A = this chain, B = another copy of it.
Amino acid sequence: MKAYELHPNEGFASVQSVERPDPPAPGPHGVRVRMRAASLNFRDLAMARGAKARKSPVIPLSDGAGEVAAVGSAVTRFKVGDRVAAAFFPTWLRGELLEEHHNNALGGSLDGVLAEHVMLPETAWVRLPDSYSFEQGATLPCAGVTAWHALFEAASLKPGDHVLVQGSGGVSIFALQLARAAGAQVIATSSSADKRARLEKLGAKTTIDYRENTNWGELARAATGGRGIDVAVEVGGAGTFDQTVKSLRFGGTMSLIGVLTGVQGSVNTHQVLHKALRVHGVYVGSVEMFEAFVRALVAHEIEPVVDRVFPFRETKAAYEYLASGAHFGKVVIRID
């Protein structure tokens, strides 16, 4: 089968097209899927850039969708032809995240989905909404499930609450769409006037240019009528932490997701206790969360925002496009 692998090399030159043997026939609980599309996350850029340190090549990308091509003898949940996506952590089925789940992340410790065929246990696959294209389905596993987890598992969002989202990447746009579906009001930040207009079109009540307004946390708080943000979807990390804290109400929740500004940085820990905040680390989510997320997508007919679809052979261009930051929503690769 055709696939990509990460090889030790500079930058995205690490992403290399290869030929691999097809997976064998599924064992009793196995499900083999013919992948049709995959989507890129910020994490994938970091993996590709860090590929020099890898010992052996790995198939990249965690997020993909396709149709079931073969099922094992004991499989009950799927049949050939079903349209599915894989879970980011294939062994995190329910409950809380454990250390052992980290040893089984697609496109990291395990081979990912940028290949014609992927074989995983039936418990690792989730059925796609009927109306979705494979390109749309491929956007869900990481960005979508993360947004769900941030709003409804790490926090308990109520109608009339205010949600803060940052920028226009995949997690932030899903969070905007889901918060709207849950009856919350959304404050969004972006440095691009064009993107702010699009965020407003998607339902953001207020948008803020964080570059022009370095004290954007106070502006976000003011935009709630002074009460403060109830749930902040923090994708920036340490670099945006303090402004996000300013935006939050007393007792508000920060769903801490991102590392866009780095993995370590100076943070005002005193304000966390002064305002009695709850900072909850969010790392994608379980298969059970994925299924709840899909139920909400279907009930609300939410359309994932796909920015651009690249053909399989232009995979490297897709990486470069995401790295440019020009995107609004998800960057997808079609697997023909």
Interface residues of A (CB under 8 A from B): 93-99, 102, 152, 156, 158-160, 178, 181-183, 185, 237-238, 241, 250-251, 256-259, 263-283, 288, 292, 295-300
Contact = CB atoms under 8 A, between A and B. Distances in A.
Contact of A278 (B181, B238, B278): B278
A160 B181 CA distance: 9
A307 B307 CA distance: 49
B97 A94 contact: no
B160 A296 contact: yes
A156 B237 CA distance: 27
A237 B273 CA distance: 10
Given A159-B181, A276-B282, 18 more contacts: A94-B96, A96-B250, A98-B250, A152-B158, A158-B292, A158-B296, A159-B296, A160-B296, A160-B297, A238-B266, A238-B267, A256-B272, A263-B269, A265-B267, A272-B279, A273-B281, A275-B281, A278-B281
A265 B267 CA distance: 5
A268 B276 contact: no
Number of copies: 4
Given A99-B250, A269-B256, A156 B156 contact: yes
Given A182-B183, A250-B97, A278-B280, A269 B237 contact: yes
B270 A259 contact: yes
12 contacts: A94-B94, A99-B250, A102-B274, A159-B181, A159-B182, A183-B183, A238-B266, A263-B268, A264-B269, A276-B280, A277-B281, A279-B280
A259 B275 CA distance: 14
A159 B178 CA distance: 8
Contacts of A276: 96-97, 280-283
A160 to B, nearest CB: 3
Contacts of A299: 159-160, 183, 185
A159 B251 contact: no
B281 A272 contact: yes
Contacts of A267: 238, 264-267, 269
